[in-house]
Chains A and B, each alone.
Chain A
Amino acid sequence: MEDTSRSLFKIDDNTYEVPLGYRPGMRVPGRIFVSAALRNMVEPGTVDQVANVATLPGIVKYSMAMPDAHLGYGFPIGGVAAFREDDGIISPGGVGFDINCGVRLLRSDLEAEAVQPRINTLLDALFQAIPSGLGSTGRLHATDQQLTEAFISGARWAVEEGYGFEDDLTHCEESGGMAGADPDQVSVKARKRGRPQMGTLGSGNHFLEIQRVEEIYDPAVARQFGLFKGQITVMIHCGSRGAGHQICTDHLEVLSRAVRKYNIAIPDKQLACAPLGSPEARQYFGGMVCAANYAWTNRHIIAHWTREVFEKYFPGSRLDLVYDVAHNVAKIEEHNVDGKRERLYVHRKGATRAFGPSRSEVPAAYAAVGQPVIIPGSMGTSSYVLCGSDAALDLTFGSACHGAGRVMSRSQAIKLFTGQSVKAALNKDGIVVRSTSPSMLAEEAPQVYKPSGDVVDVVHNLGIATRVARLVPLGVSKG
């Protein structure tokens, strides 16, 4: 691997700077938040992508990469950048195709001892109840009108339809539905892909996991989040499915033309963008919000079916929502920039919001401590719950990492592992797995990701978000 260390300046043990001039046209420096050990895993291409983002108009402070950063397209995965409303841009390259891919964590009132003996049966039932895998279609078959309502009001629509509870909405980022949706910006094609897929997990790195709370780091905050040692939790990781992918594809075509129309120099075609305030920018934002709301609806419905399965096997048990975070999205947020309050379009691509108690966006239930930050591990490794902090606002516009971060390509993974070998190794560790495709299991082998603990350490040590609990997988349902 090419050595990029000479071009990066060490700011402190967990911060490296990509200096102005690393590539021509940079408007701000880059900041990569990694430890010395993780820095060696950052590919040169990822550093280039951080620098590319720094050339976009209206960017403020830094083009940032979280500790799980790896090579993406347009932005790196783990990329965070904010653009001034006055002279900035919005870019789907900073959001990704899977708009509002995110994670939802449910806490049960069950202890692991009660669930573990029945883990195989429970997992089979969940695998059955929640459609997953490639091209999976749902049990829901939404009508066009229902789809429009989900685009506009997200999980609220689902609650009105009888899925889940009002209380879920108050424990969800954006209350499960972002303002600003414009269903006119969703093409017929996107609707056609989205309609049958509502309430499906999809494939790839998406999963539903039954977990046990293994370790509590911060008992006071854990109590606020309703977490205790030995507790069973359920984590759902998925996004906006074909609807989001198509919305991004459609708008990328429009924004590619906008780049020429507004004469914006971009170093990567995936960074196609439009000036904020332009019709193209408004249209993309309106479409993107529809996809984001679709994703919250999707995770909400999956959570509802998960509750039904738990109710069947553990009658009277509870599954309450801890929180639900988006990690591929652009948000309008106010932040301090050079001593001034500014309205910014904060792009997080493979990065999670990590707001502290001072932010009004944090739900009332967590206003005293800060929002839960949910960091899924890879299939065999720990996931973490952290707590957002006000320190993150200055450092990263209130953003943290979103996962472990891939270090090995899929093709390499298939050469090294088989679905069978991965399954056997996980079983040996007491983790049961259900998957529709053996080769996808191989591609998602735990070894293809950075150690999730190392990534979380950086976030914790920087004070972006602080460790609250560690969760270990007991059963995983994969696409």
Chain B
Amino acid sequence: MIAFEYLEHTADVMFRAYGETAEEMLSNAASALFKAMVDPASIAAVKKWTVELEGSDLDDLAYQWLSEIIFLFETESAVFSTFSVRLEQHGAMKLYGEIGGERIDLARHAFDNEVKAVTRHKFGIKKNQLWCIQVVLDV
């Protein structure tokens, strides 16, 4: 199984991320989002961030999760390379995410893009043999 792949898009960045489970798909999607900005090999996961989100369904949570990573990148001035996700359902669906990374150091972190936002254009999650999420990022 490949974790994620980028698809051709004229103005923006489009990717599909996969997983044996919804959790794995969501952590791979986060990796795809961040790799569109900066090479993960240049990032040391020396610091941890945690997020807790609540959504009406998986689609909603996935959108919030990816948007949250952009929010953290900008407000924490940090770059991330490891992502793990746990989902729980008690009435509403909850996502617990753990993100590893470090503060931005422009001498070591060369940026390819700045992802402005996660769009809902062609946004969707499918489950066949694998879980798959498709995302278009506004860059």
Identify the A interface with B (CB < 8 A).
Answer: 43, 70-74, 77, 93, 96-98, 134-135, 137, 189, 192-193, 202-204, 242, 245-246, 248-249, 252-253, 256-257, 268-270, 272, 406-412, 414, 436-440, 443, 479
Query: B120 contacts the other chain (Cβ, under 8 Å)?
Result: yes
Q: Which of B88-139 contact A (CB under 8 A)?
A: 104, 106, 110-114, 116-124, 136, 138-139
Contact (A252, B114) CB under 8 Å given A77-B11, A135-B104: no
When the two chains form their complex, are residues B120 and A269 in contact, meaning their CB atoms are under 8 A apart?
A: yes
When the two chains form their complex, are residues A71 and B9 in contact, meaning their CB atoms are under 8 A apart?
A: yes
Q: In the complex, which of the residues B8, B77, B120 contacts A135, with contact meaning CB atoms closer than 8 Å?
A: B77
Give the docked Cα–Cα distance between A256 and B71 (Å).
Answer: 20
User: Which residues of chain B are near A137, meaning CB under 8 Å?
Assistant: 77
When the two chains form their complex, are residues B11 and A256 in contact, meaning their CB atoms are under 8 A apart?
A: no
Q: In the complex, which of the residues B10, B56, B113 contacts A204, with contact meaning CB atoms closer than 8 Å?
A: B113
When the two chains form their complex, are residues B71 and A72 in contact, meaning their CB atoms are under 8 A apart?
A: no
Q: Nearest chain-B residue to A75 (Cβ)? A: B121
Report the minimum CB–CB distance from A266 to chain B (whole Å). Answer: 10
Report the minimum CB–CB distance from B90 to chain A (whole Å). Answer: 21
Query: B84 contacts the other chain (Cβ, under 8 Å)?
Result: no
When the two chains form their complex, are residues A135 and B11 in contact, meaning their CB atoms are under 8 A apart?
A: no
Q: In the complex, which of the residues B11, B37, B71, B121 contacts A246, with contact meaning CB atoms closer than 8 Å?
A: B71
When the two chains form their complex, are residues B111 and A73 in contact, meaning their CB atoms are under 8 A apart?
A: no
When the two chains form their complex, are residues B110 and A437 in contact, meaning their CB atoms are under 8 A apart?
A: yes
Chain A to chain B contacts (Cβ below 8 Å), 28 pairs: A43-B10, A73-B12, A73-B138, A93-B121, A96-B138, A97-B116, A97-B117, A135-B104, A189-B71, A192-B71, A192-B75, A193-B74, A203-B111, A245-B70, A248-B117, A253-B60, A253-B64, A256-B120, A268-B120, A270-B119, A270-B121, A270-B123, A406-B10, A409-B8, A409-B10, A437-B110, A437-B112, A440-B114
Report the minimum CB–CB distance from B116 to chain A (whole Å). Answer: 5
When the two chains form their complex, are residues A71 and B10 in contact, meaning their CB atoms are under 8 A apart?
A: yes
Q: Contacts A256-B120, A439-B111, A440-B114 given; 11 further ones with Cβ under 8 A?
A: A73-B12, A97-B138, A137-B77, A192-B75, A204-B114, A245-B116, A249-B117, A253-B60, A408-B10, A411-B13, A436-B106
Give the interface SS of chain B, mostly helix, strand, loop or mixed. Answer: loop
Q: Most B CB atoms within 10 A — which of A93, A242, A414? A: A242
Report the minimum CB–CB distance from A391 to chain B (whole Å). Answer: 29
User: Which residues of chain B are near A93, meaning CB under 8 Å?
Assistant: 121
Q: Nearest chain-B residue to A46 (Cβ)? A: B10
Give the docked Cα–Cα distance between A242 and B110 (Å).
Answer: 20
When the two chains form their complex, are residues B111 and A134 in contact, meaning their CB atoms are under 8 A apart?
A: yes
When the two chains form their complex, are residues A409 and B71 in contact, meaning their CB atoms are under 8 A apart?
A: no
Query: B67 contacts the other chain (Cβ, under 8 Å)?
Result: yes
Closest 10 CB pairs of A and B: A73-B121, A269-B120, A270-B121, A97-B117, A73-B119, A203-B114, A134-B114, A270-B120, A245-B117, A71-B10
User: Which residues of chain A are near B104, meaning CB under 8 Å?
Assistant: 135
Q: Most B CB atoms within 10 A — which of A137, A407, A409? A: A409
User: Which residues of chain A are near B112, meaning CB under 8 Å?
Assistant: 414, 437, 439-440, 443
When the two chains form their complex, are residues B121 and A242 in contact, meaning their CB atoms are under 8 A apart?
A: no
When the two chains form their complex, are residues B121 and A268 in contact, meaning their CB atoms are under 8 A apart?
A: yes
When the two chains form their complex, are residues A410 and B13 in contact, meaning their CB atoms are under 8 A apart?
A: yes
Q: Most A CB atoms within 10 A — which of B6, B117, B123? A: B117
Q: Nearest chain-A residue to B71 (Cβ)? A: A189
Q: Which of B46-97 contact A (CB under 8 A)?
A: 56, 60, 63-64, 67, 70-71, 73-75, 77
When the two chains form their complex, are residues A70 and B11 in contact, meaning their CB atoms are under 8 A apart?
A: yes
Report the minimum CB–CB distance from A404 to chain B (whole Å). Answer: 12
Contact (A440, B11) CB under 8 Å given A135-B77, A270-B119: no
When the two chains form their complex, are residues B73 and A72 in contact, meaning their CB atoms are under 8 A apart?
A: no
Q: Nearest chain-A residue to B117 (Cβ)? A: A97
User: Which residues of chain B are near A135, meaning CB under 8 Å?
Assistant: 73-74, 77, 104, 114
User: Which residues of chain A are near B56, meaning CB under 8 Å?
Assistant: 257
When the two chains form their complex, are residues B11 and A71 in contact, meaning their CB atoms are under 8 A apart?
A: yes
Give the docked Cα–Cα distance between A223 and B71 (Å).
Answer: 46
Q: In the complex, which of the residues A73, A134, A410 contacts B136, with contact meaning CB atoms closer than 8 Å?
A: A73
User: Which residues of chain B are near A406, meaning CB under 8 Å?
Assistant: 10-11
User: Which residues of chain B are near A203, meaning CB under 8 Å?
Assistant: 111, 114
